[in-house]
């Protein structure tokens, strides 16, 4: 997959965001529309609203294993419960109420994403998702 690296007006304030394997959503969609093959491995999409949902669906339709990470909980706009449920029905895993904390590299490339779960009225807790490709749904914003 030759999608462009992250380029946005405001850089993602996340350690490792400049790693190979971190791409912005619009560039990824352009690459897929040009017929470039989807990436192999685990894909994590940092929501970014409709752009993130569109990236996740396009990758899933091409056979990728996709997880969407949303900062909000289902039912809280813009992460409306029906949208997140639709993604799950399409075979896309959804991780709500999670905030990215660190991109973990191996061999210089993105390999994992450490997140902090922030459910309402509960203590925050860290967890890690495998990520061979990290898609910034809203181009890093």
- Across the chain, mean pLDDT equals 82
Query: What digits encode the pLDDT tens for the residues 15-27?
Result: 888 899 999 899 9
**How far is the C-alpha of 103 from the C-alpha of 87, rounded, in Å?**
24
Q: Which of 105, 104, 106, 87 is nearest to 96 (CA)?
A: 87
**How far is the C-alpha of 16 from the C-alpha of 100, rounded, in Å?**
11
User: What is the pLDDT at residue 81?
Assistant: 73
Domains of the chain, earliest start first: 23-116+128-136 (3.50.50.60)
Report which DSSP code applies to 3. Answer: P
Query: What digits encode the pLDDT tens for the residues 47-58?
Result: 877 888 899 999
User: What is the pLDDT at residue 51?
Assistant: 85
User: What is the pLDDT at residue 11?
Assistant: 43
Average pLDDT on 80-104 reads 88
């Amino acid at each position: 997959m030759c999608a462009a690296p992250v380029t946005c007006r405001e850089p993602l304030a996340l350690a490792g965001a400049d790693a190979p394997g971190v791409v912005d959503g619009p560039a990824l969609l352009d690459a897929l529309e040009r017929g470039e093959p989807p990436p192999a491995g685990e894909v994590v999409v940092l929501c970014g609203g409709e752009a993130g949902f569109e990236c996740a669906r396009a990758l899933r339709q091409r056979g990728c294993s996709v997880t969407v990470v949303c900062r909000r909980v289902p039912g809280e706009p813009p992460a409306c419960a029906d949208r997140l449920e639709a993604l799950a029905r399409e075979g896309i895993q959804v991780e709500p109420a999670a905030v990215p904390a660190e991109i973990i590299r191996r061999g210089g490339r993105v390999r994992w994403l450490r997140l902090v779960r922030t459910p309402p009225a509960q203590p925050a807790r860290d967890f890690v998702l495998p990520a061979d490709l990290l898609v910034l749904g809203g181009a890093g914003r």
